[in-house]
Structure 1
Amino acid sequence: MQYWLFKTEPDEFSIDDLQRKQEEIWDGIRNYQARNFLRDQVALGDLVFIYHSSCKEPGIVGIAKVIKTAFPDPSQFNDQSKYFDAKSTPDNPRWISVTLEFVEKLPIIALSTLKSDKQLESMYLVQKGSRLSIQPVIEDEWKYIIETYS
């Protein structure tokens, strides 16, 4: 099993939305490195920290599980979607989605808390310039965060 952190803006899709729906396609990823993680590494059963970004208090807010892996992101073919990609075709899709299932909501673990924790100083999320929306989390970091903050 691998561990991940997926960022979302809570005014677009929040942990509460995922809890209400119970499962959801994770679409709209338009960064090639993040796409490659989704396509090549994210696996069935992997656990995911849901992270709220671009908000008053960014941080980890919940956990989800991958229940369907790498398939063409349907939003790339929808010309009404803000994620539409005219260069993408069903025969040659450029963008990938996965489906997540809600596991649990966590009390917010603020980015400031994560950054100030010496045990997490190597975590990708706290590195300067870390803006990637899909990020790996190493097992020791995952376990430490769960044991310390949830």
Structure 2
Amino acid sequence: MPPKKKARVSKRTASSGKDDDGETVSSAGGKRKAAASVGKNEKCSESPGSPQYSHWLMKSEPESRFENDIDVKFGIEDLKALPDQTGCWDGVRNYQARNFMRQMKEGQLAFFYHSNCKEPGIAGVMKIVKESYVDHTQFDKKDVHYDATSKPDNPKWSMVDVQYQRMMKRFLPLSELKKYHLQHRANGGPLKDMALFTRARLSVQPLTAEEFDFILSLEDEVAL
């Protein structure tokens, strides 16, 4: 396990009424049961008949913000600085985001997305190195993510371990990704249904292989 400094996600996704682009978004739905597990070599889907996913986008805050006198900042450089460049992705308190984490498989890749900051966007790539297990912060009364309604014999929240892989060749800002999303929505393209814009509040989001590969290709392109 990493030291006391834990990987944090953007908690505003569980409480804020706006996404990174400043657009008002609807609140998350009611409590949902954990998604069913899938076989070791299967891709993941949220429900039968829905798209299958093996890539992810995970949001965290790279700039200092204090909750109960605790700085919840955790950017990609913080992950890179941890022993083995590995940390637990704790603090997720949204049921849909939690369910996506429960579907993740060891070895799958995720974008590290900087959220709730001056310029949000994709900063780098990380790998899932430990599949879903109980998030201990839900039982820690001193932790900002303490949940008094969660019990050790029936925990509500889960986390995964992630490992830094690399920085993006260039930072991909939300503003650029949105331009592609709007173009693709109008004319067809990989990002037309990207969850970053259709399910903006989620701190953990699925990506299709086509979406993931297209975003990687933008590294070598001049900013739109």
Counterpart selection for 1:18 from 79, 90, 100: 79
Counterpart selection for 1:60 from 122, 133, 136: 122
Is contact 1:51-1:61 (8 Å) kept? yes
- State the one-letter code of the partner of 1:123: M
Shift of residue 149, structure 1, vs aligned partner: 2.0
Shift of residue 90, structure 1, vs aligned partner: 2.0
SS in 1 for 2:143: coil
Counterpart selection for 1:33 from 84, 96, 101: 96
| Correspondence 1:127-146 to 2 at 5 A | 127=198, 130-146=200-216
Shift of residue 96, structure 1, vs aligned partner: 0.3
CA root-mean-square deviation = 1.3
In the alignment, does 2:173 pair up with 1:110? yes
Residues matched between the structures, number: 148
- State the one-letter code of the partner of 2:159: S
The equivalent residue for 2:49 is none
Is contact 1:114-1:126 (8 Å) kept? no
Is contact 1:25-1:100 (8 Å) kept? yes
* Cα distance in 1 for residues equivalent to 2:107 and 2:219: 22
- State the one-letter code of the partner of 2:212: W
Instruction: Give the structure, 1 or 2, with the largest relative contact order (CA under 8 Å, sep 6 or more).
Output: 1
**Structure 1 spans left out of the alignment, 5+ residues:** none
Instruction: Tell me the percent identity.
Output: 43
Structure with the higher strand share, 1 or 2: 1
SS in 1 for 2:212: helix
Shift of residue 74, structure 1, vs aligned partner: 1.0
The equivalent residue for 2:217 is 147
The equivalent residue for 2:134 is 72
In the alignment, does 2:174 pair up with 1:122? no
Question: TM-score under structure 2 normalisation?
Answer: 0.64
| Offset from partner CA, 1:3-29 (integer Å, 9 cap, x none) | 000011112100000111100000000
SS in 2 for 1:69: strand
**Structure 2 spans left out of the alignment, 5+ residues:** 1-42, 44-53, 64-72, 184-188
Runs (4+) of structure 1 exceeding 3 A deviation are: none
- State the one-letter code of the partner of 1:102: Y
* Cα distance in 2 for residues equivalent to 1:37 and 1:123: 15
